[in-house]
């Protein structure tokens, strides 16, 4: 959607949709997110090695270069990366830590917390070394020195924040949300964006961890509406979709495996390494288009977004959007998206039966 500059004007005109809601927190930089992106950068993790915010990367390298061989960094390289810990697994760990040093798990580590790739033993070892690294590398000094950068970045993101209609998520998914939505500006994440969530007692915190991939002529983060807003919509969708796909794992597995076998290369090139991830992405992306339709965006914007998704390998997106429209028109029968999932199981079964022909047409 980058090429459609008119979306910026459109969004500015849609103030009635934007929410300054008590459940939508102000955008902020989260030091836990920054810390984990930094240590995985030091461990040469490709997805955390972006140079899209050069000034900040320079600050990181200047402060942390002497600690490239710290025990924590070697543990990440030699143990964690070999277990597939990267991308969203890193951000799941970040949001599961207490806000202040010395860090503690908000919820005790287990086989599946903070995320199943970690495992309790690796997560505990990592946390022990992370606390040591924080002290050894004087991380507090680094964060203090970059406070002005963080304030500017989150201030620049405010216009994107203000356009979001958070009430749509609960209305569309039929899932009451007890908690809050948090937007985190991930300055070290480059083009990486993540949508994790955490439940604490009876409160759920849904995150959109937004990367930073553009800067202004002063070298500071620049968040254009047409560039960042669709991604913000996308990331919050994940917290409403991922667990449903997981719940219907058995019913979706046959079609998922068949489709993924055909699309494996294009999906893995986008870091989608399983049919489960592919299905979650498919529903999330169709959900973004439903949001645009429900908020009366111009057809050219909707068509561009649709074409973008189909070109990324989600060649059934137009038909999936139609299924979500059918869901929206029959909410008396399907009060929640989860109640509509048996219909989506049938939909994906049909896609699997015809995936070879669909790909040929594309």
pLDDT, tens digit, for every residue of 207-221?
999 999 999 999 999
Q: Which of 30, 31, 36 is nearest to 126 (CA)?
A: 36
Render pLDDT for 157-174 as a digit per residue (tens, 0 to 9). Answer: 999 999 999 999 999 999
- pLDDT of residue 4 exceeding 80: no
State residue 327's pLDDT score: 98
- pLDDT of residue 2 exceeding 70: no
Indicate if 199 and 86 belong to the same structural domain: yes
State residue 191's pLDDT score: 93
State residue 203's pLDDT score: 87
State residue 22's pLDDT score: 54
Asked which of 2-16, 19-33, 165-179, 197-211 is least confident by mean pLDDT, the reply is 2-16
State residue 176's pLDDT score: 77
3-state secondary structure of 310: helix
Indicate if 142 and 272 belong to the same structural domain: no
> Tokens for 209?
């961890």
Determine the structural domain holding residue 91 and report its residue range. 21-162+169-226
Q: 10 Å Cβ neighbour count for 205?
A: 17
- pLDDT of residue 8 exceeding 70: no
Asked if 202 contacts 241 with a C-beta cutoff of 8 angstroms, the reply is: no
Average pLDDT over residues 326-333: 97
Which phi and psi angles does 97 have, rounded to 5°? -100, 150
Asked if 271 contacts 310 with a C-beta cutoff of 8 angstroms, the reply is: no
Indicate if 138 and 221 belong to the same structural domain: yes
Give the separation between CA 114 and CA 84, rounded to whole angstroms.
14
Q: Does 237 reside within a domain?
A: no
Percentage of residues in the chain with pLDDT exceeding 70? Answer: 93
Indicate if 328 and 292 belong to the same structural domain: yes
Q: Does 304 reside within a domain?
A: yes
Indicate if 66 and 189 belong to the same structural domain: yes
Indicate if 52 and 113 belong to the same structural domain: yes
Q: Does 6 reside within a domain?
A: no
Q: Does 58 reside within a domain?
A: yes
Indicate if 212 and 90 belong to the same structural domain: yes
Indicate if 288 and 192 belong to the same structural domain: no
Give the separation between CA 44 and CA 68, rounded to whole angstroms.
9
Q: Does 241 reside within a domain?
A: no
Render pLDDT for 300-310 as a digit per residue (tens, 0 to 9). Answer: 989 999 999 99
Indicate if 204 and 63 belong to the same structural domain: yes
Q: Which of 278, 288, 258 is nearest to 350 (CA)?
A: 258
Average model confidence (pLDDT) across the chain: 92
The last residue of one of the domains, among 180, 195, 226, is: 226
- Stretch (H or E) spanning 75: helix 71-75
Indicate if 42 and 83 belong to the same structural domain: yes
Task: Provide the domain count of the chain.
Answer: 2
Indicate yes or no: pTM above 0.85.
Answer: yes
Render pLDDT for 243-284 as a digit per residue (tens, 0 to 9). Answer: 999 999 999 999 999 999 999 999 999 999 999 999 999 999
Indicate if 38 and 137 belong to the same structural domain: yes
Indicate if 190 and 326 belong to the same structural domain: no
């Amino acid at each position: 959607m980058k090429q459609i500059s008119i979306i910026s004007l459109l969004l500015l005109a849609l103030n009635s949709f934007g929410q300054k809601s008590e459940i939508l927190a102000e955008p902020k930089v989260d030091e836990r997110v920054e810390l984990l992106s930094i240590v995985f950068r030091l461990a040469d993790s490709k997805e955390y090695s972006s140079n899209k915010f050069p000034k900040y990367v320079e600050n990181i390298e200047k402060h942390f270069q002497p600690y490239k061989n710290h025990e924590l960094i070697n543990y990440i390289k030699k143990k964690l990366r070999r277990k597939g810990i990267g991308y969203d697994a890193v951000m799941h760990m970040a949001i599961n830590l207490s806000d202040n040093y010395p860090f503690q798990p908000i919820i005790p580590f287990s086989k599946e917390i903070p995320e199943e790739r970690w495992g309790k033993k690796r997560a505990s070892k990592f946390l022990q070394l992370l606390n040591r690294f924080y002290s050894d590398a004087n991380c507090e000094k680094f964060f203090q020195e970059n406070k002005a950068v963080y304030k500017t970045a989150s201030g620049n993101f405010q216009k994107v924040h203000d356009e979001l209609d958070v009430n749509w998520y609960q209305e569309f998914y039929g899932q009451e949300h007890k908690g809050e939505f948090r937007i985190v500006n991930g300055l070290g994440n480059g083009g990486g964006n993540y949508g994790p969530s955490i439940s604490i007692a009876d409160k759920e915190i849904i995150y959109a961890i937004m990367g930073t991939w553009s800067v202004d002529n002063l070298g500071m983060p620049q968040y254009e509406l047409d560039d960042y807003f669709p991604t913000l919509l996308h990331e919050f969708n994940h917290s409403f979709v991922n667990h449903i796909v997981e719940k219907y794992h058995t019913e979706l597995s046959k079609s998922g495996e068949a489709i993924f076998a055909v699309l494996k290369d294009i999906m893995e090139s986008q870091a989608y390494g399983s049919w489960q991830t592919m299905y979650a992405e498919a529903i999330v992306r169709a959900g973004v288009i439903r949001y645009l339709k429900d908020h009366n965006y111009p057809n050219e914007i909707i068509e561009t977004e649709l074409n973008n998704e189909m070109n990324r390998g989600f060649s059934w997106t137009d038909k999936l959007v139609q299924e979500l429209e059918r869901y929206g028109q029959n909410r008396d029968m399907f009060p929640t998206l989860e109640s509509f999932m048996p219909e989506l199981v049938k939909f994906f079964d049909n896609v699997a039966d015809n995936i070879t022909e669909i790909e040929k047409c594309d």
